[in-house]
Chain A
Amino acid sequence: MSSSEYEGVMVFAQQKDGKVHPVTYELLGKGREMADKIGESLFCVLLGSGMEEVDELIYHGADRVFLYDDPSLQEFNVLHYKKCIVDLVEEEKPKIFLLGATTIGRSLGPRVAAALRTGLTADCTSLDVDEEGNLIQIRPAFSGSVMATIKTPKSRPQMATVRYRVMEEAKRDTSRRGEAIKKRARIEDTRIRVLERKEFEGEGSIVDADIIVSGGRGLKKAEDLRIIREVADLLKGAVGASRPIVDDRWIGRQHQVGLSGNTVRPKLYIACGISGSVQHLAGMRNSNFIIAINKDPSAPIFKEAHYGFVEDLYELLPELIAEIKRRRGMKTACITERSMRI
């Protein structure tokens, strides 16, 4: 097959309980940009049962949404999902096919790529396309110490998984028009059965937090995480951690930021007692605002920070907590005073 037969960009829309995972909107943002650049269409494939967000996918840039609505697709079964997607890709022949690098995308993507005998670049942090439609895939390699640029010169589609929260979400435009195409799922495979799914209650994933306050090995003992937690609470943020204190079980793995943990992109990231290893940086350097607190002025974290405080965290954080409380106290006092006068 010549590669010129392949046209357009396709995005896998991941859903849970009918709700589309936000990484999908990020893929649509990048997908739209690339499709426009090569003058082709943007497709989206959504699999599940009883989904309602089809219009949203169109508002976020999809020209065509292929919809597989079937009870057998409600939960993620990699064999069912693979079958539908491989059939669709063989029919529609997109030039580029993107998935989120979530626990679902990382299981499904390689299976689809192997079935189609094409390349798949894992965990991309940046994507672009040249005029001929060649996908330029950039990903961290060797524990994030280097960035590798990868191409898939001949095979089509060119496939990539993309980290959540590294790309901009597509703009929503309710005047956009597109087409929803219902597809029939033919599923006979019974080799995998989903017996149960459980989501942990309580604190949401740090991946979704707008503010993260993280602690590292600058903390002397597990109890001292309390100071980090207090700052996070005051700012209504979440607690993050570097790997060593997760490995020592001071805090759960779901709090780990970095290459082997979560990639985060909050509005504000405060790193306390974290040196800034390439592996840690790989998980947080795209944060909108980074403040680092470290007593060593040569700590690499300062190279990535917008503001660097050279100070002992045991000195600075208690003062910070006191100062925030003081100003809040003052503010509430002012407001009450004024409201009393009225």
Chain B
Amino acid sequence: MGHGAKDEKEFNVIVLVKQVPEAEDVRIDPDTGRLDRSSAEAVTNPFDLNAIEVANRIKERLGGKVTCISMGPLRADSTLRDSLARGCDRGILLSDKKFGGADTLATSYTLSCAIKKIGSFDLIVCGEKTTDGDTGQVGPEVAEQLDIPHACFVEEIKAITESSLVVRRKTENGYMILELKLPALISVTKDINEPPLPLLKNKIKARKAEIETWSASDLSEIGDVERFGLTGSPTRVVNVGSPHVEKETMMIEGGSSREKAKKLVDILEDLGFL
């Protein structure tokens, strides 16, 4: 592979960030079962803020540069400005109608083409998942397409040098310590750090900063345009519906709390839990 720290003096970190609708603003219309995102404010995926903070800490330690990449509509440039305000050095927006309707495979393919176009990198950092896609798949799929090692659910960076990385990875009931050779990709959990708010002066600076925008044709030398967007997506959402049929609930109202407690214990006994 052409990248790696050897021929470059700088340590290059890439962070993948996505713009998402503010979670609380997504409503479902109870009559039509349709999703109403019209009122939703667009924000940087909260999990990606942890990824940015990881990259910033690494830059503090090893120097170098942090590049943020986001694929999304043109308005997602505000998410890249937010990343710059938080300390990243360069922002690249991948925006094109041809990228639209991408599932995780097409998204990760497009992102990996952009990363190849950048050329040199040592580490890629992702959030654990997005609040809208909510799959956590894009990170490991990018790693596979770039043929580099990865670790998910990283909750601590134990050590990092120019050539390797030691991380603590969460498991269901414990953890694993992994050593990865660089270049590598990690996706980090919310518990890894507490991202500070960006400073006002950095926000103002970021407002004027240049965001590079790459279209499908900018990536056509590196990738196959047929693999972008909807045409490159093997999955199809065929229906979106309301979550559940309602249960019959037996409501116990009125009476003293003593009486209710007795009723509750009766129920527990009947069901065999006592």
Contact = CB atoms under 8 A, between A and B. Distances in A.
Interface of A: 75-76, 78-79, 82, 102-104, 106-107, 109-111, 113-115, 117-123, 140-155, 190-200, 204-205, 207, 211, 235, 253-254, 259, 267-268, 278, 281-282, 285, 289-291, 297, 302-312, 315-316, 319-320, 322-324, 327-328
A245 B84 CA distance: 32
B273 A323 contact: no
Contact of A114 (B105, B246, B250): B105
B258 to A, nearest CB: 5
A248 to B, nearest CB: 14
A192 B148 CA distance: 10
B138 to A, nearest CB: 8
Nearest to A156: B234
Given A149-B238, A152-B234, A307-B267, A142 B171 contact: no
Contacts of A267: 273
Interface string B1-41: 00000000000000000000001001110000101000000
Nearest to B27: A145
Given A107-B152, A147-B241, A122 B134 contact: yes
B48 interface: no
B235 A119 contact: yes
A148 to B, nearest CB: 5
B179 A306 contact: no
Nearest to B265: A323
Interface of B: 23, 26-28, 33, 35, 103-105, 108, 131-132, 134-141, 143-145, 148-153, 166, 169-181, 184, 191, 233-244, 246-253, 257-258, 260-262, 264-265, 267-269, 271, 273-274
Contacts of A306: 247-250
A342 to B, nearest CB: 25
**Shortest 4 CB-CB distances between A and B: which pairs?**
A119-B234, A319-B261, A155-B234, A119-B235
B251 A310 contact: yes
A324 B265 contact: yes
A106 B104 contact: no
Contacts of B152: 103, 106-107
Contacts, number: 246
B28 to A, nearest CB: 5
Nearest to B34: A146
Given A114-B105, A308-B249, A122 B135 contact: yes
Nearest to B183: A191
A120 to B, nearest CB: 6
Given A119-B235, A149-B238, 11 more contacts: A104-B171, A110-B137, A110-B138, A114-B105, A120-B235, A143-B131, A144-B243, A149-B237, A153-B236, A310-B252, A319-B257
Contacts of A150: 235-238
A79 B155 CA distance: 20
15 contacts: A111-B144, A113-B105, A141-B240, A142-B28, A142-B132, A146-B240, A191-B180, A191-B181, A194-B176, A254-B173, A259-B134, A268-B271, A307-B252, A308-B250, A319-B257
A111 B150 contact: yes
A251 B242 CA distance: 32
A268 B267 CA distance: 11
Contact of B178 (A117, A193, A199): A193
B249 A114 contact: no
Contact of A311 (B35, B174, B248, B257): B257
B236 A151 contact: yes
Given A102-B172, A103-B172, A304-B244, A146 B271 contact: no
A109 B135 CA distance: 11
B264 A320 contact: yes
A47 to B, nearest CB: 16
Nearest to B232: A117
Nearest to A207: B172
A302 B249 contact: yes
B140 A111 contact: yes
B265 to A, nearest CB: 5
A103 B260 contact: no
A118 B234 contact: yes
Given A197-B174, A205-B172, A120 B137 contact: yes
